[in-house]
Each structure stands twice: as structure tokens, then as C-alpha cells.
Chain A
Amino acid sequence: MKIATKEISAVSLVKEALEKAKRCKNYNIFVSLNEEAALNRAKEIDAKIARGEDAGHLAGVPYALKDNFLSREGNTTASAKILESLHAPINSTTVEKLESEGAIMIGRTNLDAFAHGSSTENSYFGPTLNAYDKTRVAGGSSGGSAVAVAKGIVQFATGTDTGGSIRQPASFNGVYGFKPTYGTISRYGVVAMASSTDCIGFFARSAEDIDLLMQICAGQDEKDLTTLPDYYGAEGQSLSPQRIGIVKDFDLSHVDPAVKKTFDDKVAELKASGHEIVELSMPALKYALAVYYIVVPAEVSSNLSRYDGIRYGYRSEDAKSLDDVFEKTRGAGFMPENKRRIMIGNFVLSSGFYDAYYLKAQKARTLIIEEYNKAFEKCDFILTPVSPSPAFKLGEKVGDPVSMYLEDVMSVPLNLAGLPGLAIPAGETESGLPVGLQIVGPRRSDKALLEFAGTIANQAKINEENN
């Protein structure tokens, strides 16, 4: 990463990033820019460096913050109308850690409202466009962050991944996107989507950069009781060559030919460089999407209950009674996809259905976890496509929620099992759209996984065309 030094000032790094962000305005990457505060912070860092003080491992590095992280700088919207004027009094743990190392947030990136979606089209602020084709989606939900890195505006960006929200947009835009083991990075201060699958992660141009960010941000946090005891960096070094698992049960017949070719090429390449390829039978994975769309909406419906117009955010002015406040505020404040998930969630949690849906789904989830445990007895990492196709056309799947949900078929099993997964740029379509692949590791193999990725893939390129 390009760090501010006596030769390159933080102010110049931040100015350059802000200029690029403005040039890319028509991609709708940012919900808001953090110009003034970012320049002030850059000046502070330059002053520190001038005084010979340690300005941190990320001194002056501009970054983009997915707009569902709380930060004292600017408003946190989660790209939802219902949160449009929320100024948080605290920083999320991730923001706190990044900034204590000198990173500078230059803007907040667009997402599907409350991170519900796979295209960033469900944003109250409109869709973010794909870095390589403005008629296509950025992917989602962390679309803004992925494009901010792909366009070379920032060196890294934060993301959240509940079912693929980092990996899929990373793949669509040709950058690295990492979802760590569940509980590795604190969720404190990040607008919750589904508590048991939400993970904080990063977009960057190399596995090494992500490793640095992980060293800074991983760790147990007393403010998030689901965080794991510190482990990142303490695990053993990765061995080379590796045993690489490929899953037979994924039906690749519906997968885009470019995705299939990228996958096959990578498998051949790995084999040629001495890795052992292990075929895995994982029949329980076919239930993952169904399980996901029971467990996640249940938690979503619960986590969105706090948006009631009483204490902060948007409140409908038409309300005449208490019930009106709730109904009209939520009716106008949520996007259609938010409402769909709330309804599914309420349905599966309602008394009489709880056992049949939620409890059953949790049992299936246990099966999926066990299946991964068995798989990792036979291999070190698993390689899969990230999603069945490259970036699709804007509007193509908006009217078809199920086909949108199918986007996540290869990414959600990891979230259910709490496993780390990295999207790496691996190929492209004939028309030049990026195609990524996903490397999956056992729980707490995060560092080894990133190191392994560093040996099999190259630095992501930056697409500065159309800027």
C-alpha cells in the first residue's frame, strides 16, 4: 500500500483520491464524501511525520467506508431512507482500529439498503455501476466499496458479508474481497443485517494488503461477545503445495461459460504447479440457500425492529397514532427488498411455524458445518466460482428475487458455516468483464488462506477507463 512519507504527503494522497472519486461521480460509488475531515486528518498525519512520530501502519492511506459502518464523521445511512439523518456518536471498532493506524476515510460507499441484495440496486440512492461496464451492476451488497477499489480511487475499502456481499462484488469488479472467519473482526458499530452470519471484511488489490488490514482489525472485542479469542497471525504457516478441494455437487451446467472456463483453467494451473486436486462430495450444500433464506430473514426481521421512527432517523409526518408512526415510518422508510425479508422473517418465526422452519433450518445448518469439517479432513482449501455468472445487466433481476437470491448459491454456505472465503480476480469474459474465484478455508485458517492466495494469483488491476 502506498503510505504517506516525507516524500509523498498524506494530503496529496487524500486529494488525489478525492479527485478520482469526483471524476467517477457517474458510477454512484459514494453516498457521501468526507472531504473536509479527511483533509484535516491528512494534515495531522503529515505533521506527525514531519515531527518524526510514528503515524501508523496505514499512515495517510485513503480508504472508503461502506455506509453501514458507524463513524463520527458524517451520517451513517446504510443506503436506507429510514436512516437518512443518523449522525453516530461513536466509531465502529473497525473504523477506530483503521484510523488509529493512520488510515483516512474519504467517503462512504453505496450499498443495497441494509445490505439486502446482490447488486446495489436496492439502494435508496440508486444503483452503483460496474467498474468495467456502466450498463451492468456492481454486485452487492458492498457494490460501492468494490468499485471504489476497482477504479483506483482508494487502496482499500471496508465491506460486510452476510451471504456473499463482499466476495460477489469483488468478483464482478476484478478485485480481492475477503470475508474472514465469523467472529474474527468485531461487528460493534456496524448496522446489523443477520447477526449470526454478518462478517466484516475488506476489498483491496492484493492478498498481502488484506493480510495487513487483518493484522490491524482482527481480534477479540469486549463490545462484541461473538468475537473469537485473538488468533489471527498465530496459526501455522501455510504449506505448499496444497491439497485443493473441488466440489462435485455444484451444478456447473447453469454456470456462465466464462466462469466455468476460468475455474477449469485455474484447476489445471494448480495441478500443473504441483497442487493435489481432491474431488469432494458435499450433498448438504444444496440446502444452503434455502437454509440461508430462512435464518437470515428471521434475524433481519428482528434486527430491523429498532427502526420505528421513535428515537432517530426518518419518521413519517403523516402519522396520526402510535401504530401509524410504526406503520407509515417503516412503510415509507424501507425498500421493497427490506420489506420482503421482514415478511419472510416474521413468517418463519411466527408461533406454529418456528419449529418447521427456523429450527429445522438450524439443524440443516449444523449438517452443512459438519460436511465442511469432513471436507477439510481431505483438503486444505476449497476452490469454487464466486457466483454463477459475471456482472449482469442493470435491472435484469430486479423483478425476479429468486434469481437474485441464486447469485449467492456458492457464497452463502460459508456464511452459514462461519468459514473464511476470499474472492480473487482470476479471469475475464470475452467482452472484458472480470471473473473471480473463491478460495474457502477451514475456520481460523484466515492468514494461511491469504498467504496461499498470494502464491496463486496476481495483484488486481485498476480500471481507470471511463473515469
Chain B
Amino acid sequence: MKYIPTIGIECHVQLSTKTKLFSEVDNDARGKEPNSCVSPVDYALPGMLPRLNGEAIRYAIRAGHAMNAIINPISRFDRKHYFYPDSPKGYQITQFYHPIIGEGYIELPSGTKVRIEHAHLEGDAGKLTHFGTYSLVDLNRVDTPLIEIVSMPDIHSAKDAHDYCKELWRTMCYAGVTNGDLYNGNMRFDVNTSIAPEGSTELGTRTEVKNLNSFRSVERAIEYEISRQKKLLEAGEKVIQETLGWNDATGKTTGQRSKEEAKDYRYMPEPDLPPIHLTEEFIQAEIEKVPLLPNDYRKKFSGILPEDTLEVLLDYPELMRKLGELDAKSIKPVANLFASVLLAEEKSVEMLAHLPEARQLQDLSEMKEKGELSSTAVKEVFLKFFDPQMGKKDARAIAKELNVIQENDTGALEAIVDEVIADPACAQAVADFKAGSEKVIGFLVGQVMKKSQGKANPAAAQTILRKKLA
């Protein structure tokens, strides 16, 4: 029997605000001692009350706009209760009843639209590290602002799930609300998967795989779940609704609890935080700060860049923004340099943070256009843009310094060509060409290049050779 999978995804995005959601402590704990970015509010000293980080509200508005969503003018916080050492207050402050972001959608590169049910603000939990007989608690991450984006069950393949997560990641990075570092958990995905026989109007029982932090693991976990559930159904067994973990090494999902407990979070409106009232002007002002998003760039560069190059470069908002600054004729050559040179470099991440000025790139592509630089020379000059010693100089100055500007002066070239034709070492080749052998032209061009010490423009050299030997 053919089964149709149905997939819904919840994504947690850590917002890159300066301070935490409810306290004024540094939100960036990278490289810091455990429990060093923690205020009495975060570790839940008695008598402490949450404050509200306005920047997180602003980021949420931008994120919401980036996913084509309604921003709710009134939202509020609720408490979600559970006991665990990663939750100092004994509850998480979240938005259960009235989230800040309403319905929206994400459009995949394939054109498929995945609807967003809602997205809400909440505080992250701390981190536990287990050591056999004991565990250590690090509260640095407590109340880092998160938005949890809940999709509708609009996804029907592991591939689309992968693409959705990737597009969501790109969208959030472009909107500038997160550092987007997947390896460090800046975005984490929970996937709900069920399968039902084709044509069935009812959905099957779903399982939830929690805490996936790569697009590949999202895709693999769903593929695994689809096939596991299919085997169960085909064997006449039932899928149990449960929460699963993903083991990337074994490529399998595993049950997290032997006995699935029905959790009761005892949601309650957060009495320490008044509702958030947003005016239309406030929302609009934030929306205007949202820069161009992946789909805007797709529209902007369609017809200029081939789709595959565009999709590769779209993973890097810095590159897209840089291309956006260029004049029309430089876009394609510079995009090619980005794709084939920059991204191939070992230090590409560092280089992305120090991109050349638009003017430097435009000059470079103009020199190429005029035939002043060979492809190799273009690459050399381009890489020098990232050199701390030379990087500030313009393309021509660097090319001169490298001595790679091609000889285009027809008079000078003609003299060299004459020299080559007169050279006894080339006499045989000249004779062969005159007798109709096309392939020796390459040899003759090579000789011109050699005599010009590589500075001759090979195309121009060939034209002159052909004219003189005609």
C-alpha cells in the first residue's frame, strides 16, 4: 500500500539580542565560564521578577514579518510548569494562550508554501551535562530569548522538510534575528511525523523527534520514521504516539522514556508581566527595518544568475547583500568569483566577515571585461582583497603590483607577433598553419605569451596571428 507522510515542524530560534529575555545579563555566553551569565532573576532567587527585553519584542516582529505573518497587537506571557534542574523557576515563561506572531507561511524554493500556525516568544532552559553518578547544571542559557515557530502539517516528504528547515534558517538569518549557528543550537527542530494510506482522510498517529540541529538530521530522522512506521503498519501493528530522540551515529530514532507519561504543564497566565500592547506605528517601524529576504534576492537576481549558483550563494546573506550593492553588469562575474573562489577557500568563513568594497569588485570585473586580466589574474587580485596588507587598495593598483595586467596595445602585440613569425624555431609551425593545420595556432599563441612574459591578451594575440598569416 502507498502511504502519504504528513509532517509538522516546531523550530526554536535563539534570538541574538544583547541581553536575556527577562534580565539584563549578557545573552552571548559563547566561550564563557558556566553559570557566569546568570542574574538573580535567571537563577530564580526568591522575590525576583522578570523584566522584559524590548529588543526581543522588536526581533520577534521582524521574524514574524519575515515569515509573512500577522503580528498580534496584544500578546501575553504564560507559565509552563515542570520540575527539572534546567528550569530554575520551576516553570518556563512562554506564550501559550496569546502568542505575538500569528499565521504566516514560508515559501520553499520549489514553490511549495508551508503555513505557519503561530510563533511565540519564550525563555530557553539551562543545560545539563551528565557524568554517570552526577550531573552539572549550567544556567548561562536560561532565558535566552527564543521564538518557537510552529508549522502546520503541510509537509509531505523528508526532502520538503529539509528544504523548509533550510529556508526558515535562511529567512531568520536574513532577518538578522539570530546568529544562526546550528552547531551551537541557535536553531533546533522538533519534527512530528505520521503516515496514512493514500486517499485516507484521517491522519495517522504521529511521533515527535526532538532536538534536531541540522537539516540533514531532520531529513534522515523523517526518512527513518516514515519507514519504521510503514513497517509497523504493514505488520499490522500500531504506531505509538511518543517522543523520540535521534541518534545521528546509528541513524535511528529511540524512545526517550520507557513509560510515556501524560505531561500536565498547568499553564497559567504570567502575573508578573503585563500584556504586551503594540501600536501599528511600532510594528510598522520594525517591519521597515527588515532587510531583503531570500525570496527578494531570488526575484532580484533571476535571469542574471543561474539557479544553482543563486541557491548556493543564498546560504550566505553577506554575499547576497554585497551582490545587491553592485552595478548590473558586475553581478554575474562577481557571483562566480564568490561561488568558485571564495567559498572554496579554507578560510571562507573569516573572509565572509571581511568582504571587499563594491567598488573594488566592480573595478575588478570591469578590468576582466576589458581583457586586462586573465582568469587567473582575476582570481589572484580577488584573493588579495582579503589580504590585510593590500585589501584596501583598488583592483588596478593590486593588479599593477602583481604585474598581471595583460598587453592589449595592438602595436606592441604586433611587434611580438612579428618576432614569433620570424623566429626560426617557429618556422615549421608557421608553415603547418599556412598549410591548413588549425591546431598549431595554440602553439603560436603560447609563444606570443612567452615572449610577452604572460602579459599578452591571448585572444588579441590570436586575432593578430591569424591576420598576419592569412
Contacts and interface: CB of A to CB of B under 8 A. Distances in A.
Given A302-B79, A302-B81, A305-B91, A225 B49 contact: yes
Interface of A: 68-70, 76, 78, 83, 86, 88-90, 92, 187-192, 194-196, 222-226, 298-299, 301-302, 304-308, 310-312, 322, 326, 346, 349-351, 354, 358
Given A226-B274, A302-B79, A310-B137, A76 B268 contact: no
A187 B49 contact: yes
B85 interface: yes
Contacts of B83: 305, 308, 326
Interface string B270-292: 01111000000000000000000
B433 interface: no
A280 B180 CA distance: 62
B236 interface: no
B40 A89 contact: yes
Contacts of B388: none
Contacts of A88: 45-47
A86 B267 CA distance: 29
Contact of A306 (B90, B264, B266): B90
B337 interface: no
Nearest to A90: B40
Interface in B11-68: 40, 43-52
A430 B40 CA distance: 51
10 contacts: A76-B47, A188-B48, A195-B271, A299-B271, A302-B266, A306-B46, A306-B89, A306-B90, A326-B83, A358-B268
Given A302-B79, A310-B137, A224 B49 contact: yes
Contacts of A306: 44, 46, 88-90
Tell me the interface secondary structure of chain B in the complex.
loop
B137 A188 contact: no
B267 A349 contact: yes
A305 B46 CA distance: 11
Contacts of A89: 40, 45
Contacts of B44: 306, 311
Nearest to A298: B268
Contacts of B264: 350-351
A436 B329 CA distance: 88
Contacts of B49: 187-188, 192, 223-226
Contacts of A69: 47
A190 B91 contact: no
Contacts of A311: 43-44, 88
Contacts of B267: 349, 351, 354
Contacts of A90: 40, 45
A218 to B, nearest CB: 17
Most chain A CB neighbours (cut-off 10 Å) among B40, B52, B83: B83
A350 B271 contact: no
The 7 A-B pairs of least Cβ separation, nearest first, read: A305-B90, A195-B271, A349-B266, A196-B271, A306-B44, A191-B46, A189-B47
Tell me the interface secondary structure of chain A in the complex.
loop
Most chain B CB neighbours (cut-off 10 Å) among A223, A301, A306: A306
A225 B273 contact: yes
A225 B90 contact: no
A10 B85 CA distance: 46
Contacts of A76: 46-47
A346 B40 contact: no
Nearest to B38: A311
A186 to B, nearest CB: 9
A324 to B, nearest CB: 12
Interface size class of B (residues with CB under 8 A): 20 to 34
A358 B79 CA distance: 14
Contacts of B50: 225
Contact of A83 (B46, B51, B91, B273): B46
Nearest to B273: A225
Contacts of B90: 302, 304-308
Contact of B46 (A86, A222, A302, A346): A86
A192 B47 contact: yes
A417 to B, nearest CB: 15
A88 B52 CA distance: 23
B448 to A, nearest CB: 77
Contacts of A346: 266
Contact of A92 (B47, B51, B81, B273): B47
Contacts of A351: 264-267
B47 A70 contact: yes
B11 to A, nearest CB: 25
Contact of A349 (B40, B85, B268): B268
A257 B90 CA distance: 46
Contact of B81 (A189, A190, A305, A310): A305
A304 B268 CA distance: 14
A205 B90 CA distance: 40
B271 A191 contact: no
Most chain B CB neighbours (cut-off 10 Å) among A194, A226, A302, A354: A302
B57 to A, nearest CB: 13
Contacts of A68: 47
B272 A195 contact: yes
B51 A225 contact: yes
Interface string B109-138: 000000000000000000000000000010
Given A78-B46, A310-B88, A310-B137, 11 more contacts: A188-B47, A188-B48, A190-B47, A224-B49, A299-B271, A302-B90, A304-B90, A312-B45, A326-B83, A349-B268, A351-B267
A308 B83 CA distance: 8
Contacts of A192: 46-47, 49
Contact of A226 (B46, B48, B272): B272
A301 B83 CA distance: 12
A305 B267 CA distance: 13
A299 B269 CA distance: 9
Most chain B CB neighbours (cut-off 10 Å) among A192, A311, A312: A311
Contacts of B51: 222-223, 225
A262 B266 CA distance: 45
A77 B16 CA distance: 38
Contacts of A310: 85, 88, 137
A465 B50 CA distance: 46
A112 B40 CA distance: 25
A226 B43 CA distance: 21
A83 B45 CA distance: 11
Nearest to B79: A302
Nearest to B46: A191
A350 B267 CA distance: 8
Interface in B220-265: 264-265
Nearest to A312: B45
Contacts of A70: 45-47
Given A226-B272, A346-B266, A305 B47 contact: no
A92 B49 CA distance: 11
B80 to A, nearest CB: 10
A307 to B, nearest CB: 8
Given A76-B46, A92-B47, A191-B46, A225 B272 contact: yes
B378 to A, nearest CB: 57
A179 B90 CA distance: 29
B268 A299 contact: yes
Contact of A302 (B48, B52, B137, B268): B268
A83 B266 CA distance: 25
Contact of A225 (B85, B137, B268, B274): B274
Nearest to B50: A225
A327 to B, nearest CB: 9
Contacts of B45: 70, 88-90, 312
Given A78-B46, A298-B268, A305 B52 contact: no
Contacts of B47: 68-70, 76, 88, 92, 187-192
B89 A225 contact: no
A151 B267 CA distance: 45
Contacts of A322: 85
Contacts of A349: 81, 266-268
Contacts of B85: 308, 310, 322
